[in-house]
């Protein structure tokens, strides 16, 4: 049994691999973990290469190494290549952040199998592939690790017009709980973060879609409506989510595993 009281201490910096890193929450997580002293591998779709390269420059400006990878996480071969490239570059993987995801906002009666497959291929199949690859690598290394995934507050309490996304993010909670039980003896913790609305381009596009479904004039009105119902009176920032990931990736979370932690300003309270 590996002692996971603290992340493995070596002469080499710890290494994090982050998917969906090209913008929004993924970008914020990348920069925060770089500030925490980790070397970074960042991955996203080929279409996001320019954004990835810009973020890599920011990471390197903080004095950390950064590997840029193009990866569609729904494709097994691409995930395997992503993991192999990370191991080859850094000879290590200490933190896996499976952040990539997609959303569709539609009533169930209007949803198609294409909608379902697109969301589940990324959010469920893709996360599974990333978690499996990270677990295999960390077990092989034999010195513990941190696996962290993106769930959502909608994975705890679903909303109308968001059934497919909600179901996919609920699946992340189940993966987190089961994998935490499987990997505990290896000193690997497995947790997830569950954001509410976060101020990103991704969220603002979704807010427009929600507004149309519920009869609000625009996405801004939807966000304002949300803010009136949340305890802290605001939507989240990418840095709010990066903060919890930083904690889960670090030594102070050593006795936390199997948890999906809500970060939504106090809308959904366990």
Residue 91, burial from CB neighbour count under 10 angstroms (0-12, 13-18, 19+): exposed
End-to-end Cα spacing for the chain:
32
Strand, helix or coil at 198?
strand
Q: How far apart, in whole angstroms, are the C-alpha atoms of residue 195 and residue 183? A: 25
Of the residues 106, 140, 157, 169, which is catalytic?
A: 169
Of the residues 165, 220, 226, 251, which is catalytic?
A: 165
Strand, helix or coil at 104?
coil
Residue 237 and residue 24 in contact, taking contact as beta carbons nearer than 8 Å: no
Strand, helix or coil at 74?
coil
Residue 118 and residue 161 in contact, taking contact as beta carbons nearer than 8 Å: no
Q: Is 169 a catalytic residue?
A: yes
Catalytic residue annotation: 165, 169
């Amino acid at each position: 049994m590996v002692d996971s009281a603290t992340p493995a201490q070596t002469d080499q910096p710890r290494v994090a691999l982050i998917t969906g890193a090209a913008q929004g929450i993924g970008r914020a997580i990348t920069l925060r973990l770089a500030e925490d002293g980790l070397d970074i591998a960042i991955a996203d779709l080929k279409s996001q290469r320019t954004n990835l390269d810009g973020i890599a420059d920011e990471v390197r400006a903080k004095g950390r190494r950064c590997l840029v990878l193009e990866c569609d996480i729904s494709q097994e071969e691409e995930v395997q290549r992503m993991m192999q490239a990370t191991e080859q570059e850094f000879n290590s993987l200490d933190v896996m952040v499976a952040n990539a995801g997609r959303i569709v906002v539609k009533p169930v009666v209007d949803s198609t199998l294409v909608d379902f497959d697109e969301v589940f291929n990324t959010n469920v199949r893709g996360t599974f592939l990333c978690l499996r690859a990270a677990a295999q690598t960390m077990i092989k290394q034999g010195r513990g690790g941190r696996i962290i995934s993106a769930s959502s507050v909608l994975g705890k309490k679903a909303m109308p017009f968001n059934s497919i996304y909600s179901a996919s993010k609920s699946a992340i909670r189940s993966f987190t709980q089961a994998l935490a039980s499987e990997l505990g003896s290896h000193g690997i913790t497995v947790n997830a973060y569950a954001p509410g609305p976060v101020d990103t381009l991704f969220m603002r596009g979704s807010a427009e879609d929600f507004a149309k479904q519920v009869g609000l004039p625009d996405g801004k009105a939807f966000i304002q409506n949300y803010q009136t119902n949340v305890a802290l009176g605001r939507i989240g920032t990418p840095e709010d989510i990066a903060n919890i990931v930083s904690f889960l990736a670090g030594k102070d979370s050593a006795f936390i595993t199997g948890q999906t932690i809500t970060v939504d300003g106090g809308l959904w309270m366990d």
